[in-house]
Amino acid sequence: MKVLLTGASGQLAQAVLRTWQAHELLGPDETSLDLADRDSIRAAMATFRPDAVLNLGAFTQVDRCEAEEERATLVNGTAVGWLAEACAAQGTVLVQISTDYVFDGQGARPYREEDPASPLSAYGRSKLLGEAMARLAPRHLIARTSWLYDHQGRNFFTTMLDKAARGEPIRVVDDQRGAPTSCGALALQLEAALTGGWQGLVHMTCQGETTWHGFAVEIFRQMGVEADLRPCLTAEFKTAARRPAYSVLCGDKRRLLGRDLMPPWQEALAQVASVRKGERP
């Protein structure tokens, strides 16, 4: 299968490039495929004529999105519509990545795909628009995920380790609950979903749940790192964007559709930790 990746330099795209061995992967840089440019999208689709588009490009800096909502809406929403338009014209499958931030976090049980979305932030609003735009492609798969990280790049895992290495005191919120999801685990699930013909909206996160503080505790434990880590409340840690207090996503639909490859979040973290420590290629 010929698969066109947007956002090819990002951490999720890099995980896809490492793990999708049975496919022809095309990852043009932003000069060749600019999501903010409709003509660029049309030209890339005409040039590459892929069987599937894996849209991994996004404006993901949640707090910056509050000040730059127009840009977030363009990249995370409008551009998805342009991709869907091109995919529809060529009979191409569009795979869109979405987020747990489409929910307001007021729930008390894991969110199902059919639960109403009510985002609290500009980022969440732009990604929800992206979901709507993706549905314009007759053949589409929308994968909602959460708390993505990898052994490299800028993410919570690497940030915690960098802070600990500098000996900084670390305060992490302990009243936001979700499911940390490694890029490697998500990449494998996306491949199984695409080759298995899944369509529609599917939640794809690692199993289980924790808080950001609980995630940090487990990172340091598995990495064997001493850190000055203490919990705090969201109210003590002011950010531009509001985050959902509870954004665990239910995986029941994924298990009904076929191959559920998402491991417990602690197991996925162990794999990432081993790569970071150089124990695995």
Which DSSP string corresponds to 8-55? TTSHHHHHHHHH-TTSEEE---TTT--TT-HHHHHHHHHHH--SEEEE
Looking at residue 281, what is its pLDDT?
Answer: 44
* pLDDT (mean) for 108-122: 97
Range with the lowest mean pLDDT among 34-38, 269-273, 276-280? Answer: 276-280
Half-sphere exposure of 46 (CA within 13 A, CB side): 6
Could you tell me which residue, 264 or 236, shows the higher pLDDT? 264
Position 191 pLDDT exceeds 90: yes
Looking at residue 139, what is its pLDDT?
Answer: 97
* pLDDT (mean) for 232-255: 94
- Band of residue 30 on the pLDDT scale cut at 50, 70, 90: confident
Among residues 101, 123, 149, 246, which one is catalytic? 123
Position 33 pLDDT exceeds 50: yes
Position 74 pLDDT exceeds 70: yes
Report whether 247 contacts 99 (CB < 8 A). no
Active site residue 123: yes
Measured CA angle at 152 (ends 146, 154), to 5 deg: 60
- Residue that the structure tokens 């973290």 belong to: 269
* pLDDT (mean) for 23-48: 93
DSSP state of 115: S
DSSP state of 273: H
SS3 at position 67: helix
Looking at residue 279, what is its pLDDT?
Answer: 63
* Strand pairing report for 140-145 and 181-182: unpaired
- Band of residue 227 on the pLDDT scale cut at 50, 70, 90: very high
Q: What percent of the chain has pLDDT over 70?
A: 99
DSSP state of 177: E
Record the pTM.
Answer: 0.95
Q: How far apart (Å, rounded) are the C-alpha atoms in residues 50 and 53?
A: 7
